[in-house]
Structure 1
Amino acid sequence: MALADNSTNSSFNCSTDSFKQVIYPIVYLFIFFLGAAGNGFSIYVFFQPSQRKLSVNIYMQNLAVSDLMFVSTLPFRATYFLLGSHWVFGDITCRIMTYALYVNMYCSIYFLTVLSVVRFIAIVYPFKHWKVTNKKYARIICTAIWLFVLVASSPLLSKEIAGYSDPDKCLDLHPSSQQRLLVMNSFVIAVGFILPFGTIIVCYVFAIKALLKSRSPQHKKAVCHKKALSTIIITLILFLLCFLPYHVLRTVHLVQSSCSQSSLPVHKALVVTLCLAAMNSCLDPILYYFAAENFKAQIRSLYCR
């Protein structure tokens, strides 16, 4: 949620446009090619007729679809900065670009969180029937996540938040709406980041405790535990690498209303952390490879074919 640069201080220019025009095109195009290939192939594997339709794979399918939808917007973003922060695709497309970024980010966060909970249950309560591990309810939960995030992010489609009177500008949010953005950010930080992140940490701690207590599990159970732990650890790393820095810097940036030389490093750091957040889209296939059910076997089968 990057605010438009506001040069209210006549002796110092807060603009980071030149920095963005170097960093964003390189990173966005790299993520596009890697993310399109990785998520496109993952979706192809997930939707193979022989692929097991388990709840874990259903959540991962939805995560891959979300990531693929997001990376498809990155060429538009890269083009904007390659043209010197000049938008040529129209006002509606501009707002869709901002909307798509946050829809993907928070869908990814929620799908990763639910995956961690499912794997946590597999370790700690393996013999109990939970709705979150049921295929039917997995589809319902995925639908609920999509609807919640799409509706909650809808203010970003409004002209007041993501629209521009200057048709050449795009992808930053108005400084004039800063108070409204601060309120939105507080809600998003609590519901969209702290709650999921806290849930994943709890899953990690209790899963480790349960694994330490288990004594020489059977081979099948050991494989289940390995996949469960891989899911939670990879998810935790993704949160720490991709989402935590961005949410911290975004909040600092929104709170900093003044333009000064000391605020410029924060503006540049926010650019870097947004790149890290976008990078999540091409890192998720690592999770599928190590933690999805039957994913490796399906790849081997396709290779042999």
Structure 2
Amino acid sequence: MVVLIVPVNFSKNGTIASTCSNSTEAWVYSALSGYIFTIAVLGIVFNLLVLMVFCLHKKPCTVAEIYLSNLAAADLILMSVLPFWGINTLKGFNWPFGNALCKLVNISLNMNVYCNIYFLVMVSIDRFMALVQPLSHERIRRPKYAKLCCLLVWCFGLLLSIPVLVYREGTLFHYQNEAIPVCQLSYPDDMIKLLCEGMLPVFGFLIPIPILSYCTWKIIQALNNRLTELSSTQKTEHKATTLILAVLLAFLICWVPFHIIKIMQLLLYAKIVGGCTFNNVLGISGQIFTYLAYFNSVLNPILYVIVGKTFRKKVREVFKLSVGRKTMTSSFNSTRTFQLRSTECVSR
């Protein structure tokens, strides 16, 4: 048996201020780390495939595809740093990588939360303009503006992750005469803790969700009203919109429980609710819903293939182009070899 402290409150002098302990079987750590490594490998492979298709295809990306490719890039970054947390979990939440990687890994994780939701906000607004008000916003829906919006989302995600850079520490803490290496948020006082912890539910959930809900409602209304009289261009927009709605639904299923837990943690930090039972249940639920949220990065590329007819077409075209290049290269090498041999025979 090992003891899992959920959550642990560390003081600035390196001691544990207060704990609520519950016994956890050692196999839980192995099972959880196995799950983390599995989704990390799948996520890296799938999102690399998505980025390769968008980058190698002969046609330039549409506005929606620019946002989706950046979403895939954010998911790829998350999946690339997730194995570090898998090793941390396997070691019973003892962080073996030092302070620098503690900050880098957690900034990457934190940025993914913000970038995921705001890339979906951008693509939802684009679908809203394409279907609900296509004429009045035609000039705005251009790739150069989409790329600028993506740059702003990345910068915004980095800006909101500054508290992680400042307060996340990989260091040793002392508990029962034992030095424990941890990667832990360590705030100087409760007010800063509430402000920093409140940023994620506010900017990552409470602000963007109403925007997403409004755009989605208007999009569905527009599709229902004009489904029977769509032109060929509008049918293409409809296919892209179906994919976006599927990605949005997957996001809500995976991320809403995570944000609800974060809001409940804020109530715990504000001492509105408390008690060891609530503390432990919240800690265990937080672990479950966090890794459910991370599974969304694996689910997105699968949805592109299952729902996205245009994406499947691009995959086939990229594959044919790759095979064609290999065939041309092989034919060229064979012809060159034949010519060289013929020249040798003539010279003899």
Task: Give your verdict on TM over 0.5.
Answer: yes
Structure 1 residues 200-219: aligned runs within 5 Å: 200-214=212-226, 215-219=228-232
CA distance in 1, matches of 2:99, 2:23: 22
Matched, 1:245 2:257: yes
Q: Percent identity?
A: 27
- Of 134, 141, 159 in structure 2, the residue corresponding to residue 133 of structure 1 is 141
1:120 match: secondary structure: helix
Whole-angstrom distance in 1 between the partners of 2:268 and 2:24: 15
Q: How far off its partner does 1:22 sit?
A: 4.1
Alignment of 1:262-273 (within 5 A): 262-273=278-289
Q: Which has the larger radius of gyration?
A: 2
Higher RCO (C-alpha 8 Å, min separation 6): 1
The unaligned stretches of length 5 or more in structure 1 are: none
Query: What are the residue-to-residue correspondences of 1:94-133 with 2, within 5 Å?
Result: 94-130=102-138, 133=141
Greater share of strand:
2
Alignment of 1:190-205 (within 5 A): 190-205=202-217
* Residue 164 of structure 1 pairs with residue 180 of structure 2: no
**How far apart, CA to CA, are the structure 1 residues paired with 2:190 and 2:25?**
20
Q: How many residues align?
A: 301
Query: Relative to structure 1, is the Cα distance of residues 283 and 30 closer, same or farther in structure 2, using a 3 angstrom cutoff?
Result: same
TM-score (norm 2): 0.77
In structure 2, give the amino acid aligned to 1:223: T
Shift of 1:136: 0.7
Aligned counterparts, 1:181-192, within 5 A:
181-192=193-204
Q: How does 1:1-12 map to 2 (within 5 A)?
A: 4-6=7-9
Distance between the aligned counterparts of 2:140 and 2:23, measured in 1? 46
AA aligned to 2:8 is D
Larger deviation, residues 74-83 vs 286-295: 286-295
The residue type paired with residue 293 of structure 2 is A
Deviation digits for residues 210-252 of structure 1, max 9, x if unmatched? Answer: 12222432344223223213312431x2332122111111221
| Structure 2 CA distance for partners of 1:290 and 1:221, relative to 1, 3 Å | farther
Shift of 1:9: 6.6
Partner of 2:61: 53
Q: Which amino acid aligns with 1:147?
A: C
Cα displacement (A) at 1:32: 0.6
Q: Match for 1:269: what amino acid?
A: S
Contact 1:38–1:285, Cα closer than 8 Å, also in 2: yes
Aligned partner of 2:154 in structure 1 is 146
Compared CA separation, residues 270 and 15, structure 1 to 2 (3 A):
farther
- Within the alignment, does 1:78 sit opposite 2:91 as a pair? no
For 2:208 and 2:286, locate their aligned partners in 1 and report how far apart those are by CA, in whole Å.
22
The partner residue of 2:247 within 230, 234, 255 is: 234
Residue 270 of structure 1 aligns with an amino acid whose one-letter code is G
CA distance in 2, matches of 1:132, 1:274: 36
- Give the whole-Å Cα distance in 1 for the aligned partners of 2:263 and 2:290: 13
Question: Are the equivalent residues in 1 in contact too, given 2:56–2:318 (CA < 8 A)?
Answer: no
Match for residue 275 of structure 1 among 279, 287, 291: 291
Give the whole-Å Cα distance in 2 for the aligned partners of 1:115 and 1:75. Answer: 29
* 2:236 partner amino acid: V
Give 1:225's aligned residue. 238
1:29 matched to 2:41: no
Bigger shift: 91-100 or 292-301? 292-301
Alignment-mate amino acid for residue 203 of structure 1 = C
* Unpaired runs of at least 5, structure 2: 10-15, 174-178, 324-348
Partner of 1:255: 267
Q: CA deviation at 1:28?
A: 1.2
SS at match of 1:72: helix
Report which stretch shifted further, 133-142 or 247-256.
247-256
> Do 1:5 and 1:15's aligned partners in 2 also have CA atoms closer than 8 Å?
no
Q: TM-score under structure 1 normalisation?
A: 0.87
- Secondary structure at the aligned position of 1:87 is classed as coil
* Distance across 2 between alignment mates of 1:97 and 1:3: 21
Q: What's the Cα RMSD here? A: 2.8
